[in-house]
Structure 1
Amino acid sequence: MVWKKISSRFFEVKAILKQGDIVSDYFPVYVYFGLVFFVTLATLSLSALFPSKKTSPAKFMPYESGIQTEAHLLQERFPLRHYLVALIFLVFDIEVIFLYPWAVVAKQMGRFAFYEMAFFIVVLLVGFAYVWRKKGLQWQ
């Protein structure tokens, strides 16, 4: 019953707006962002009004999994190879972000778009071959 009233009111407001108007076309998006903003604001306000009063030494430790941290482990430098693998992952992740939309419209775009994407993939593969040849992915 309540949902029918809310949904009918929503469509009444949308009908008042002119069809084809940018405000009318994006009205549901504006409502969604308004709700997201309201829920976020309400959550932050409630957490500020009712903070957790339980404190313990375990909450101030870096890890709460029961494993005690050792000081000599915290002073070691993080191996650079982890960053290299993360960067390679990001590069190929970005490649996928460009590859999926291209694959959807590849037939309509013609040969030039195909050659552009082929060049893009070749450049990425040359970089990957360089890292592979320099043995950047081998763990020691």
Structure 2
Amino acid sequence: MTHMEFAHPYFGAFVMFIVTFGAFGATVWLARYVSRKIARLDTEKLKTTLYECGPEVTKQPNTISTQFYLTALLFILFDVEIIFMFPWAINFKLLGWFGFIEMILFFTLLAIGFLYAWKKGALEWHSIK
């Protein structure tokens, strides 16, 4: 019986990937199993019953405005771009003119993205009437 060598530099990462994948699958399966055992299945009747003397409940489709999604997406986009400026500010002297020109190009792209979103109306909040 030969001794198998685990000398590859990425063997540990591969093992962690397999363990993480297995743990994720087990967690999802356990959550589904427990939630199906605990959940009450007769809640639909309760949701459509009258409360005191109010109007009868009518079902409405659950719709979420795309404005919420777009605002969140733009926030994350610009927030991540601002985070990229911190390492540049810390190493400003070390980077020299190359770093300065690189950041000017970065600011330009950031401004173009901001102006594009502004022109498309993504930053305006539309009221539902």
Q: TM-score, normalised by structure 1?
A: 0.49
Q: 1:69 to 1:88 in 2, by over 3 A?
A: farther
Q: What is the count of residue pairs matched by the alignment?
A: 110
Of residues 66, 80, 85, the one that matches 1:103 is: 85
Distance, in Å, in 2 between the alignment partners of 1:53 and 1:125 is 47
How far residue 126 of structure 1 moved from its aligned partner, in angstroms, is: 1.8
Of residues 9, 21, 42, the one that matches 1:55 is: 42
Instruction: Check if 1:87 corresponds to 2:74.
Output: no
How far residue 83 of structure 1 moved from its aligned partner, in angstroms, is: 3.4
> Residue in 2 aligned with 1:119?
108
Higher helix share: 1
Distance, in Å, in 2 between the alignment partners of 1:45 and 1:74 is 30
What are the within-5 Å matches in structure 2 for residues 1-140 of structure 1?
17-18=6-7, 21-47=9-35, 50=37, 52=39, 55-56=42-43, 57-58=45-46, 61=47, 71=58, 74=60, 83-84=66-67, 86-100=69-83, 102-106=84-88, 107=91, 110-127=99-116, 129-130=118-119, 136-137=124-125
Distance, in Å, in 2 between the alignment partners of 1:39 and 1:119 is 45
Q: TM-score, normalised by structure 2?
A: 0.52
Superposed CA RMSD? 4.2
Distance, in Å, in 2 between the alignment partners of 1:85 and 1:45 is 33
Q: 1:68 to 1:42 in 2, by over 3 A?
A: farther
Identity %: 7
| Structure 2 unmatched runs, 5+ | none
| Structure 1 unmatched runs, 5+ | 1-15
Secondary structure of 2:73 counterpart: helix
How far residue 22 of structure 1 moved from its aligned partner, in angstroms, is: 1.1
How far residue 118 of structure 1 moved from its aligned partner, in angstroms, is: 0.5
Secondary structure of 2:42 counterpart: coil
